[in-house]
């Protein structure tokens, strides 16, 4: 079976974890977490970073830090991993679902009502029209929260996705460019927002180990055992990003007609065909693992909302993630593409225009 993705961990991470244990560490969040957060700030060019247990909790804390709560309206794309919307719901706010453009990112021009904040998802590491969204939020004087969970290592020019908004969230789960098993990062240049996140993730305390709680909060701390893995993986962030780009380009040479351009760092390789479910089933029979694109979130059972989202629905129906592991070989890419073309029976020359 050619897997969809493989987590890549090596001897460097193993040695650091072993050393941490042998040094008698309590393994929970402490000095190594601070070092990891500092490294993230240096790489991304931001002032503040808080590591948290996962990206979903990161989104919840980011929303809370921005003062979003019961009854507030928050714009988010209709096409996204469902955690984007459920994080909004978990703080008591109401997701206002917005259609995407053809890149799969939110089309801010489709937002027809007033909202209290925007959660912008850079789907599969694509920026979409993020600068227009930044301008919109500044004009409306509302917070922009970037859900960059799929986008660590992806840039627009020299600026990393996740750092355009007031606050950004990344995921470190096993599918991501760097992974600590689970984990999330909340980054911002706003000192007040960073301070609120720090209180929120540590029971509302102003200082760890002191049981005084002037603020509400939960236990959303990271661990040093994750941090030492993250520190090692960050050393290869740019290298890994380049490998992902090369994998995408290799697929494009063979399946360009069914792919969208990518100017950043792809999380997965995505193709778009009229019979994605059938292709998924066929490739499974050929020992090739794929994954169907996300469903339309407002149409899921947990929301049961009406509404038409033409671009999002088209991407959801046609989209299929192909194997995208960092250690995927050129031979495996060729085999996958041969099987895709064999099923589709079409000439795949050319590239879809966006």
Q: How do residues 318-348 score in pLDDT, each as one tens digit? A: 999 999 999 999 999 999 999 999 999 854 4
Residues 323 and 336: beta-carbon distance below 8 Å: yes
Question: Please, what is the end-to-end C-alpha distance for the chain in angstroms?
Answer: 33
Mean pLDDT of the chain: 95
Provide the pairing of β-strand 184-188 with 94-98.
unpaired
Residues 50 and 37: beta-carbon distance below 8 Å: yes
pLDDT of residue 252: 97
Residues 77 and 123: beta-carbon distance below 8 Å: yes
Give mean pLDDT, residues 176-191. Answer: 97
Give mean pLDDT, residues 4-11. Answer: 89
Instruction: Report the share of the chain in percent with pLDDT over 70.
Output: 97
Q: Check whether 72 has a pLDDT greater than 60.
A: yes
pLDDT digits (tens, 9 = 90+) for 80-112: 999 999 999 999 999 999 999 999 999 999 999
Q: 10: pLDDT confidence band, cut at 50, 70 and 90?
A: confident
pLDDT of residue 174: 93
Q: 208: pLDDT confidence band, cut at 50, 70 and 90?
A: confident
Query: Alpha-carbon distance 301 to 304, whole Å?
Result: 5
pLDDT digits (tens, 9 = 90+) for 158-174: 999 999 999 999 999 99
Burial of 70 (0-12, 13-18, 19+ CB in 10 A): exposed
Question: What are the CA-CA distances from residue 126 to residues 68, 104, 268 (Å)?
Answer: 26, 8, 11
H-assigned helices in 202-236: 224-234
User: For 318, how many CA atoms within 13 A lie in the half-sphere containing its CB?
Assistant: 16
Structure pTM?
0.95
Q: Check whether 353 has a pLDDT greater than 60.
A: no
Query: Alpha-carbon distance 148 to 119, whole Å?
Result: 10
Place of tokens 């890149």: 103
26 three-class SS: coil
Phi, psi of 311, deg, nearest 5: -65, -45
pLDDT of residue 352: 43
pLDDT digits (tens, 9 = 90+) for 224-268: 999 999 999 999 999 999 999 999 999 999 999 999 999 999 999
1-10, 57-66, 190-199, 276-285: segment of lowest average pLDDT = 1-10
Residues 217 and 199: beta-carbon distance below 8 Å: yes
Query: Alpha-carbon distance 320 to 340, whole Å?
Result: 11
Q: What structural domains does the chain harbor? A: 11-234 (3.40.640.10), 238-344 (3.90.1150.10)
Q: 206: pLDDT confidence band, cut at 50, 70 and 90?
A: confident
């Amino acid at each position: 079976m050619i897997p969809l993705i493989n987590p890549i961990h090596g001897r460097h991470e193993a040695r650091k974890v072993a050393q941490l244990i042998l040094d008698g560490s309590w393994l929970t969040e402490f000095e190594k977490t601070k070092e990891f957060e500092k490294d993230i700030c240096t790489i991304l060019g931001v002032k503040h970073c808080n590591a948290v247990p996962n990206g979903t909790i990161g989104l919840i804390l980011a929303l809370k830090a921005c003062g979003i709560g019961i009854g507030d309206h928050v714009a988010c794309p209709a096409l996204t991993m469902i955690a984007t919307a459920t994080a909004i719901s978990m703080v008591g706010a109401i997701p206002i679902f917005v259609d995407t453009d053809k890149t799969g990112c939110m089309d801010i021009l489709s937002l027809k009502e007033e909202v209290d904040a925007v959660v912008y998802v850079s789907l599969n590491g694509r920026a979409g029209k993020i600068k227009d969204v930044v301008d919109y939020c500044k004009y409306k004087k509302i917070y922009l929260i970037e859900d960059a969970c799929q986008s660590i290592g992806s840039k627009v020019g020299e600026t990393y996705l996740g750092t355009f908004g007031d606050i950004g969230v990344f995921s470190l789960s096993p599918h991501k460019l760097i992974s600590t098993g689970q984990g999330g990062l909340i980054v911002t240049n706003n000192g007040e927002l960073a301070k609120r996140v720090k209180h929120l993730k540590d029971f509302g305390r102003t200082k760890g180990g002191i049981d005084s709680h002037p603020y509400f909060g939960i236990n959303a701390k990271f661990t040093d055992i994750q941090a030492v893995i993250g520190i090692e993986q960050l050393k290869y962030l740019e290298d890994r990003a380049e490998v992902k780009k090369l994998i995408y380009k290799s697929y494009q040479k063979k399946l360009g007609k069914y792919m969208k351009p990518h100017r950043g760092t792809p999380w997965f390789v995505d193709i778009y065909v009229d019979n994605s479910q059938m292709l998924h089933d066929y490739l499974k029979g050929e020992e090739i693992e794929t994954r169907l694109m996300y469903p339309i979130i407002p149409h899921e059972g947990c929301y049961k909302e009406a509404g038409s989202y033409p671009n999002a629905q088209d991407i959801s129906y046609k989209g299929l993630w192909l194997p995208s592991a960092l250690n995927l070989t050129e031979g495996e890419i060729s085999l996958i593409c041969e099987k895709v073309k064999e099923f589709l029976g079409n000439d795949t020359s050319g590239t879809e225009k966006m």
